[in-house]
Amino acid sequence: DAGITQSPRHKVTETGTPVTLRCHQTENHRYMYWYRQDPGHGLRLIHYSYGVKDTDKGEVSDGYSVSRSKTEDFLLTLESATSSQTSVYFCAISSSGTENEAFFGQGTRLTVV
């Protein structure tokens, strides 16, 4: 498996609380992505990064922010969690953009109650 680790793997949090999910890679890949996966919607891109401190929005970015201060770490923050953000979150990495294969992490199951 590619060296990509997500933490935590599972989290239950209350509505209105901040939550940060971490993605750590050991592959030195330039691109990192955060997706959410929900039944009937497939994988949807939240935010992505194309380098340290370089990030951009995906199709479902509202309510989420990201930061990338080091090549190996990409953080996803829910500033004030809502029940609609209950989902499985996947981090992915790729070496040269979306045309290259993406390696996915194991996922984080987040439940907002």
The CB-of-34 to other proteins minimum distance in angstroms stands at 12
Name the token pair of 49. 């990064």
Among 45, 65, 73, 75, binds other proteins (CB under 8 A): 45
CA distances from 43 to 18, 30, 33, 91 (A): 23, 21, 11, 11
The binding track of 48-67 with respect to other proteins, each residue x by CB under 8 A or -, is: x-x-----x-----------
Is omega for the bond preceding 8 within 30 degrees of 0, making it cis?
yes
| Alpha helices per DSSP H over 1-109 | none
Cα end-to-end distance, the chain, whole Å: 33
| Interactions with other proteins, residue window 69-108 (CB under 8 A) | 90, 92, 97-99, 101-107
The CB-of-15 to other proteins minimum distance in angstroms stands at 26
Residues that bind other proteins (CB under 8 A): 35, 40-45, 48, 50, 56, 90, 92, 97-99, 101-107
